[in-house]
């Protein structure tokens, strides 16, 4: 199963919105085939592994198949993987997690058992859950997994009061941030960041065959049609107020306008998360300013922080979150540290919101 998880990770940046799945086939104590799910519409991990075994002259009948997610049992863009496993006459299938996708949801395991194949489940489920945390979140909660990325000084400042922020953290930390961008289905920012920094919101520090969707929260549709985040088209602009003329200009740039009015003329953030899940967004990567960061956190829309801390102190400067002062510590947002690592000169901290653990 450990090898299957490593194979699944090979599809980290390519399988979206499908899950990341790896498959390893073992016979007489030897690995005879392995593979991982390909981009949407192409072969799933089990088919890749079966083809790999056969291409190397191996008979897969009587073999054991290890896969980190339940094999599919329905016709989608590809035929059911369980049918291929049954036809191959494998003896045993070992699965890390049941697939919550409604068209599968245990049916794949049931079909294998009905065919006389021994099925074992819940093998290394915690690791399997982490690799597909967004996919599972989308079907279990109806929400994407929201990862909020921050780069700050040791005293928690993200920019000087004049807006200067390039660069608080080191190049290795910035490159690492692009790795996390690449695995996400979409990158979200706010209009304030677009106006201040004119970011591209693309993956550039590493090679990737797929660029995440770009999303801008812009309640009053203030974005400049020449903003870099619109380059190449496909950007989603989420607004709270309609402006037909501005919407037409943005559509000419290839953008899509999503109207989700909430309170006080702002975007309905919780409604946006539900909408993104419906639009097949598994993992949402947020890179925004203190105001949007604070609003997302306050409304329970954040699952974990991806925080890069530089060994520097800025003093009076812009904070990570714009949040109201507390009158009691009972109102604090509690997290737990999932991982702490040194990246270049900086610390990378992954801290998960406790009440939203999967």
List, by residue number, the catalytic residues: 46
What gap in Å lies between CA 151 and CA 199, rounded to an integer? 15
Phi, psi of 178 (to 5 degrees): -70, -30
CB 36 within 8 A of CB 23: yes
What gap in Å lies between CA 298 and CA 269, rounded to an integer? 10
Candidates 278, 315, 316, 283; CA nearest to 302 is: 283
Burial readout 302-323 (b: 16 or more C-beta within 10 A, e: otherwise): bbbbbbbbbeeebeebbbbbeb
Other beta carbons within 10 angstroms of residue 2's beta carbon come to 13
Q: Is 195 exposed, middle or buried (0-12, 13-18, 19+ CB in 10 A)?
A: middle
What gap in Å lies between CA 153 and CA 320, rounded to an integer? 10
């Amino acid at each position: 199963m450990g090898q299957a998880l490593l194979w699944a990770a090979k599809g980290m940046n390519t399988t979206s919105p499908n899950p990341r799945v790896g498959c390893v086939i073992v016979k007489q104590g030897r690995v005879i085939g392995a593979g991982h799910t390909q981009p949407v519409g192409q072969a799933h991990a089990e088919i890749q592994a079966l083809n790999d075994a056969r291409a190397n002259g191996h008979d897969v009948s009587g073999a054991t198949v290890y896969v980190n997610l339940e094999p599919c049992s329905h016709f989608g863009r590809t035929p059911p993987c369980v049918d291929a496993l049954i036809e191959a006459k494998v003896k045993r299938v070992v699965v890390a997690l049941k697939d919550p996708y409604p068209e599968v949801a245990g049916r794949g395991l049931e079909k294998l058992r009905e065919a006389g194949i021994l099925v074992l489940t819940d093998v290394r489920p915690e690791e399997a859950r982490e690799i597909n945390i967004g996919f599972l979140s989308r079907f279990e909660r109806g929400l994407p997994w929201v990862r909020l990325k921050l780069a700050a000084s040791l005293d928690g400042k993200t920019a000087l009061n004049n807006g200067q922020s390039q660069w608080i953290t080191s190049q290795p930390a910035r490159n690492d941030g692009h790795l996390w961008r690449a695995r996400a289905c979409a990158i979200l920012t706010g209009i304030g960041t677009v106006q201040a920094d004119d970011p591209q919101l693309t993956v550039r520090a590493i090679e990737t065959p797929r660029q995440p969707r770009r999303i801008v929260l812009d309640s009053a549709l203030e974005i400049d049609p020449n903003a870099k985040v619109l380059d190449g088209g496909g950007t989603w602009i989420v607004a709270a107020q309609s402006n037909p003329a501005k919407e037409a200009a943005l559509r000419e740039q290839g953008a899509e306008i999503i109207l989700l009015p909430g309170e006080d003329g702002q975007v309905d953030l919780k409604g946006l998360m539900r909408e993104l899940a419906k639009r097949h967004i598994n993992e949402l990567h947020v890179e925004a300013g203190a105001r949007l960061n604070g609003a997302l956190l306050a409304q329970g829309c954040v699952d974990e922080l991806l925080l890069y801390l530089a060994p520097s102190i800025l003093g009076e400067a812009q904070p990570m979150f714009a949040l109201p002062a507390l009158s009691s510590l009972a109102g604090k947002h509690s997290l737990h540290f999932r991982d702490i690592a040194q990246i270049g000169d900086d610390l990378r901290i992954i801290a998960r919101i406790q009440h939203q653990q999967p």
